[in-house]
Amino acid sequence: MENFTNRCYGIAVLRSENSNWNADFTGYPRRLPDDRGTIYATDKAFKYAVRRYLVDTGKYVFVWRSFNENGNPRSLEERDNYFVKNEELMRKWGIDTEQIKEREERKKYFSHFIDVKFFGITFAKGSKDNKENFSITGPLQISYGVNRFNKNTPFVNEILSPYSTKEDAKATTLGNEVKNLLSYYVYDFVLNPMNLPEGMSITHNEVETMKEAMRKCATYINSTTKIGTENVLLLFIQLKDDSQLQLPTLKRLVDVDEDETIHLERIRDLLKKYSSDHIEKVEYYVNNNVCKVAGADESWKEHDILA
């Protein structure tokens, strides 16, 4: 398969209504320490959703919670052994398990896990001198997602538990659930295949697989806290192979107005400055059933985000 070598930039936008996409340890949506208490979400929340989608669509994902025969979460070593001891899989991948401690064999091994190839990994077993310790800087870097809708309004619901209290056997317990009224989380991302170590690469098909996960992952998750959060836009800017262009943070150029129109005019105007010399193509995936978009350039190739 042909390797993908172009650097890329983009944004992913999630709409979250009566939902709690990424709570802090108090249960409330995370807030920036600015004067508006702007709601934000970490890159980890987005990567979790991407991995969930990849796992459930049959891709090999290494950084994922799985459970041993006792029902306990596997340690790093157990997760590794889960794959390494699968003789049929190791034969299929051409992995020499006797040489798995060697760096080149580790690179070959990890090249079969799509999350490692894009997000990287710090694989540390035991002491820092252990030959199996291994680190990869992922070519796909994702920023925090920041609410670009002007309102930041969480609320609390009291919920009734079906279980009795210790104090009164006839009474049931009360609990709370925290939701956010409406947010539009805008994430930046940069894809630089040159970040991978020598001997590892990503293919065009793998990039398409990752783009699919990035544009569907939030809609796919329907847990109690996250239902109501869905993917509404993915902008994918592919630079020409020889371009050295460095684009600024794009999420600060996105605005969402009172009627929930996502404005991309400032991104469009920025890209027009460089389009002929540096930009190979711009793809633009949008959920027209949920949001409106203004400012998209007519040259951008539009797709249905869920297709």
pLDDT single digits (tens) 21-58: 998 888 888 999 998 889 999 999 999 999 999 999 99
pLDDT band for 172, please (50, 70, 90 cuts).
very low
More confident residue, 203 or 178: 203
Q: Is 275 exposed, middle or buried (0-12, 13-18, 19+ CB in 10 A)?
A: middle
Average pLDDT, the chain: 90
d(CA 47, CA 43): 6
Name 93's Cβ contacts closer than 8 Å, sequence gap at least 6.
Answer: 108, 109, 112
Residue 242, both tokens: 């020889």
Rounded CA separation 50/63 (Å): 12
How far, in Å, CA of 252 to CA of 290, rounded? 22
pTM: 0.91
First to last CA, the chain: 24
Paired tokens of 240: 């020409």
Q: Is the dihedral of CA 48, 54, 56, 61 positive or negative?
A: negative
Q: Return the structure tokens found at 68.
A: 């041993």
What are the φ and ψ backbone dihedral angles of 125, each rounded to 5 degrees?
A: -115, 115
Closest CA to 223 of 30, 40, 52: 52
d(CA 139, CA 152): 32
| Beta partners for residue 11, in sequence order | 188, 235
* pLDDT tens sequence across 81-132: 999 999 999 999 999 999 998 989 999 999 999 999 999 999 887 666 677 7
The predicted structure's pLDDT at residue 168: 52
Q: How far apart are CA 202 and CA 253, in angstroms?
A: 29
| Predicted confidence band of residue 133 (pLDDT cuts 50, 70, 90) | confident
Picking from 12, 3, 10, the residue whose alpha carbon sits closest to that of residue 187 is 12
Burial-class residue 214 by CB neighbours within 10 Å (0-12, 13-18, 19+).
buried
Better pLDDT: 129 or 5: 5
Question: 10 Å Cβ neighbour count for 157?
Answer: 10
Q: Would you say residue 173 has pLDDT above 60?
A: no
Task: Give the lowest-confidence range in 112-121, 135-144, 169-178, 206-215.
Answer: 169-178
pLDDT of residue 226: 84
In three-state secondary structure terms, 54 is helix
CA torsion 250-253-254-257 (nearest 10°) is: 170
Asked whether the beta carbons of 201 and 193 are under 8 A apart, the reply is yes
